[in-house]
Structure formats: structure tokens, C-alpha cells
Amino acid sequence: DTLLYTFTTTADLSAAGVYDILTYIAVSGDANTSNDTAGVITASGTPGHVNYHMGFESTDDFSFYSVEDADGDGATIDISATYVRTGLACLRYTLPNTASPDNWVFTSCIDFDQNDVYGLDFWFKVFDNTAVPFNVEAYLATSQNSVDATTLLAAPPTPGDTSYTNVHTTFSVPTTGTYYIAFRGFGTNVDNTTRIDDITIDLVSGIKN
């Protein structure tokens, strides 16, 4: 059977770290106790701040990034050491196992102020311009879930060659708080890989009071 239970005392996960949360149930007369426990591992991290840069290098902390395999084909992204823009690594949308791939990558949480205007820059490239590439979009999200990525920030055209193309857009947030930047890679009959590198978020102009 299924039971929805709400705990009256909640856990404080505000301290940065990895949390192993276990839940279990006990029933009198239960002869098999090996299937009474379920668990999940989650992590809590300190929000990032502007100026923000991610190059996916070994010295960069992208441990709090999240990936959503919206199409469920088991193929999403990896960190590639080939065809990088700068440094030794970049993010890569891998070859899909479905005709209509749909994969999301979410940054770690970042604090934004509603009184500021921000600039988002990132670079992306296709591996082979004779193949069918991913479409790439960037969103502002309130969680690491595609249903909460409702504000489209950029929908750049696919590059016409295999060199990196810069995408620049400006945005503001409706209320001061913690947000995520989401990158969506999707398409139809995609038979190409696409790379993203050097994500930067900065104040557009002015000095904060």
C-alpha cells in the first residue's frame, strides 16, 4: 500500500555537505525486515555569487550541477577533453539513443538580486556541421527541474561551422533569491555531439551600492 506521511519535525540541511537520508517502517509480525528501508543521498551547497565562471576544468567545482534525462534514453552529457574552447575540458551533450533527445543541465544554485541586471555568456559548438546537431537553449530556473525552468534566456541558432559561437544575453530576476541557469539540448534525429564551455555570469554595468 502507499501512505503519504508529513514529518512534523523537519531536518536542517542548510550546512554544506552530503546527506544520506534513510526512511524505514516497522510492522508487528513482519518476518522479512530486509525490505523495510529506503534511502536517498542529497547534497547541500553554498550558493554561488556573481561574478561566476565555469569552464568544467578539474579545478572547477561542478559537483552541485544536476542533469535531467527528460527523454529517458540514458544518454545525457559528459565532461570532454576534446575540442575544448579554453583549458582542458568542456561539457558535451553525447550522442543520443532516441530520435528526439531532450537533456537538461542545471548549474549549482546562484544568488541573484532583483535590483541588478546580469549578463550571461557561454560558448557552444557542434562536432560536425554535416550532421544533425542539438538545439541549445538557456533558461532561468527556480529549481534543478525542467518544470521550473520557465524563463527562456537564449535560443541561439545552430552554428554554421564547427568553431565555437558566443551567446550573450541579459536578464533580471523577479525577486531576490536563489536561482539556477539551465541549459537544454534537444532536437529530432540528432546524430551529432554538442559542446558548451566557459559559462560566465556578471553584472551588466554599475557598481552595487
Query: Tens digits of per-residue pLDDT, 109-145?
Result: 999 999 999 999 999 999 988 889 999 999 999 999 9
Indicate if the pLDDT at residue 156 is higher than 90.
Answer: yes
**E strand residue ranges, 95-175:** 102-106, 110-112, 118-126, 135-141, 151-154, 165-171
Residue 155 gets which letter from DSSP? -
List helix spans (H) across 107-155: none
pLDDT band at 98 (very low <50, low <70, confident <90, very high): very high
pLDDT band at 60 (very low <50, low <70, confident <90, very high): very high
> What per-residue confidence (pLDDT) applies to 33?
86
Q: What is the mean pLDDT of residues 2-10?
A: 89
Find out whether 182 and 139 touch, Cβ atoms under 8 Å.
yes
Find out whether 169 and 154 touch, Cβ atoms under 8 Å.
yes
Cα(134)–Cα(146) distance, integer angstroms: 17
Query: Tens digits of per-residue pLDDT, 21-59?
Result: 998 888 899 999 888 998 888 878 778 888 999 999 999
Peptide bond into 189 cis (omega under 30): no
Find out whether 176 and 114 touch, Cβ atoms under 8 Å.
yes
Indicate if the pLDDT at residue 93 is higher than 60.
Answer: yes
Residue 86 is which amino acid? T
pLDDT band at 160 (very low <50, low <70, confident <90, very high): confident
